[in-house]
Amino acid sequence: MHITLELYELSNLLTDAAELGAKQMAINSGLTPPFLSASQAYKTYGRKLVERWVEEKLITPCKDGDKNHNLRYDSMRLQALAKSSNRIAYFINLEKRHAA
């Protein structure tokens, strides 16, 4: 399989990689929490999108205890999923354009 990228898409991929690396550094340094509450995740990424990722088993919510404990999500995994789903949509659209 051979994939050709436009220069702007390569630039976007490198920018996304740098952002993910910076986020990991902030988490490792204790500047950013490693988890987001469910409500924070829904605000940031959209409830339907987060629920779809859970349904597709791309991310698993964490719960510290039973019953009344809040759900939380791994913030790095959420950001990586958001970045990768943007890339997948781009490549699907690109493939459709070349097929036509």
pLDDT tens string, the chain, 100 residues long: the values are 787 878 888 888 899 899 999 999 999 999 999 999 999 999 999 999 999 899 989 899 998 777 777 889 999 999 999 888 766 666 666 677 777 6
Residue 30's region, left for phi above 0, alpha for psi from -120 to 50, else beta, is left
User: Quick check: 45 and 86 in contact, CB under 8 A?
Assistant: no
Boundaries of every domain in the chain = 7-99
Q: Is the dihedral of CA 64, 78, 40, 16 positive or negative?
A: positive
**What pTM does this model have?**
0.74
Query: In the prediction, which pLDDT does 66 show?
Result: 74
